[in-house]
Copies of this chain bind each other. A is one copy, B any other.
Amino acid sequence: MCHCLSEKPHEACGVFGVYDRSGENDVALETYLALYALQHRGQEACGIVVNEDGVMRSHRDLGLVPDVFSRDVLERLGNGQIAIGHVLYAAAPVKSRSSAQPLRISHSKGSMALCMNGALVNGNALREEFESAGAIFHTNSEAEIISYLITRERLRAPSIEAAVESAVGDLRGAFSMLIMSPQKLIAVRDPWGFHPLCMGKIGEDKIVFASETCAFDSIGATFVRDLEPGEIVVADREGERSIRTHCGNKGTVCVFEYVYFARPDSVVDGASVHLARQRAGAFLALEHPVQADVVVGVPDSGLDAALGFARQSGIPYGVGFIKNRYVGRTFIQPTQKQREDAVNIKLNPMAETVRGKRVVLVDDSIVRGTTSARIVRRLRAAGAAEVHMRISSPPFIGPCYFGTDIDSKDKLIACRMTQEEIAKEIGVDSLGYLSVEDVRKIACGAHTDFCIGCFTGKYPIDVPETKPENKFEHKIGHTSEE
């Protein structure tokens, strides 16, 4: 379903950076195109900072990449040798322009721009520490906390990369981040490798970094390799070099990157997302077989798993829904509750496919259950004789501490109900989830382990007893789209 209207878990953000030694001077446009390809990772806000001979020009705002960046804005950003960009997902409904990244700040030794994807476990503690020492904060973003940390280290470190190296030692949690100094572009992946971050090149003289490989395809770049968990890569005039003091872990990439977040045409830590989803569908077919006439997926993220289920089971694959490609964030919904079910504006069931049929309905997850129930009702209204739901991931039972916006426990249907109760609640004839064992196996070829904490409640690093609310939220408070 349309991202912005669904109750899917959300991943926070995508990053891209380029260091160009070729003199081609096209870094602003390349960043723009790459952010377009990463748009699925965040639609709330976006930004680009371009570095021309040490001077940083920046533009960021609420909105999608094509809304925020016009040809005029790109021209005003001009060109340069380095650029970083960011797309933001934000959980809260009203957000300030000032939350957009990259953050650009000035400190003792010069200026810096920074953007990140992830969430810290010790963010609040660090902020308190800095505030006690007299720091002031303009935003609630963890990027600002990290900026302080790097700045503190920079005071005694011989170089920006040494400061970053030192700062990383103080951070606990998920952070794939890009840092731009007047002369350097630095890419950092947290020691657990929670979220992807990969390196590529265009020709011999341009080095690029991105959250996903699909960004490389969008600009004609070649994938070089994933950053290792804990790796810091520094690009400057001389070339690239790695700092590996924080390396050593095999890594535990978020398995939901494969299930839902990443674009199917991306390859994450060595495993194709598309194939992982097909494999999830195949495992599902093996675990939860059913007699049926057609397999359909919920667009877009359920389609690959549905195809995998169909192939494995031999039941024909069909097109179960048409998704309206034009329904965006400004869509005005009817307010009367009773009409909600009658209105198929976003997702219209294909009666020709399901009428009189026993239907296997494949989706990637169930969060609260409300959306699933509505989809099932629509399928039945379109004539489906039976609906067998298959979910290509295990039930959510725990919060995510690492940047994914999963509903709090009391809203998660799997924390409140048994699978039988859920099946009844959403109105299906049968329900099957992918098992925790099999979800570990979907990403065939991955050179990493997985974080599956949201399915097990066990996390790669110690987490607080309750998920920390951002206790500083009240300090900056509400804002009126500043």
Contact = CB atoms under 8 A, between A and B. Distances in A.
A372 interface: no
Interface stretch (A70-78, A171-179, A412-420): A70-78
B326 A39 contact: yes
A244 interface: no
Contacts of A107: 131, 134-137, 475
A138 interface: yes
A64 interface: yes
Given A32-B332, A55-B477, A350-B264, A66 B326 contact: yes
Contact of A322 (B214, B219, B331): B214
Interface string A163-199: 0000000000000000000000000000000000000
A337 B217 CA distance: 17
A95 to B, nearest CB: 12
B73 A480 contact: yes
A309 to B, nearest CB: 13
- Copies of this protein chain in the complex: 4
How many of chain A's residues touch chain B, expressed as a range? 35 or more
Interface of A: 26, 29, 32-33, 36-37, 39-40, 43, 47, 54-61, 64-67, 69-71, 73-74, 76-77, 96-98, 103-108, 110-111, 128, 131-138, 140, 144, 147-148, 151-152, 155, 214, 217-220, 263-265, 272, 274-275, 300, 303-304, 307, 311, 316-319, 322, 324-328, 330-332, 334, 339, 341-345, 348-353, 472, 474-482
19 contacts: A29-B334, A36-B331, A37-B345, A39-B326, A55-B474, A56-B478, A57-B478, A59-B479, A66-B330, A106-B137, A106-B140, A107-B137, A108-B128, A134-B151, A134-B155, A220-B343, A307-B317, A307-B319, A317-B317
